[in-house]
């Protein structure tokens, strides 16, 4: 009985493992908004209005005075009490900068 189902069960188990691993994959695939919600919103709020972190929304210093390069620098280095995010991929970094920009529109 089991012998007959084993190939199928092996397939199911392999599939389960893949799904489970996928579920806890590191945040490497997150981009833009998802990344912001996961890594930034706790301090800067979902809408960018700030809280623990500075206001980075409309009319803020980020909106008015920082270039894209400077925002990317802030994210990588983490000034003052902000943690740095040096392990983001270049794609993640630019998607975050674009998302931060979109918050002030
Ligand atoms: C633990 C809280 C915290 C987290 C998490 C955090 N920040 Fe910050 N952020 C701060 C603080 C505090 C400052 C002000 C730092 C300073 O200049 O002293 C700041 C500053 C900034 C600034 C510059 C503001 C300005 O006008 O000078 C930007 C842009 C920014 N954060 C974006 C982000 C992004 C994007 C993320 C997610 C990748 C993030 N932050 C995650 C707390 C945080």
Are 61 and 54 a contacting pair, CB within 8 Å?
Answer: yes
| Geometric angle at alpha carbon 80, from 75 and 85, rounded to 5° | 25
Q: How much is the pLDDT for 7? A: 67
CA of 40 to the centre of ligand 1 (A): 7
Per-position pLDDT tens, the chain of length 105: 667 776 666 665 565 554 555 544 446 789 999 999 999 999 999 999 999 999 999 999 999 999 999 999 999 999 999 999 999 999 999 999 999 999 998
Q: How much is the pLDDT for 2? A: 63
Q: Which pTM value belongs to this model?
A: 0.81
Cβ of 46 closer than 6 Å to ligand 1, yes or no, is no
Query: How far, in Å, CA of 90 to CA of 6, rounded?
Result: 44
Cβ of 71 closer than 6 Å to ligand 1, yes or no, is yes
Domains of the chain with bracketed CATH? 30-103 (1.10.760.10)
């Amino acid at each position: 009985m089991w012998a007959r189902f084993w190939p199928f069960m092996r397939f199911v188990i392999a599939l389960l493992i893949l799904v489970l691993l996928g579920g806890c994959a590191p945040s490497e695939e997150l981009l833009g908004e998802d990344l912001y919600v996961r890594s930034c919103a706790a301090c800067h709020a979902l809408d960018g209005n700030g809280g623990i972190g500075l206001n980075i929304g409309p009319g803020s210093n980020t909106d008015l005075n920082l270039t894209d390069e400077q925002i990317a620098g802030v994210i990588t280095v983490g000034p003052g009490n902000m943690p740095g995010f040096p392990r983001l991929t270049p794609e993640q970094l630019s998607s975050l900068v674009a998302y931060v920009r979109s918050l002030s529109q």
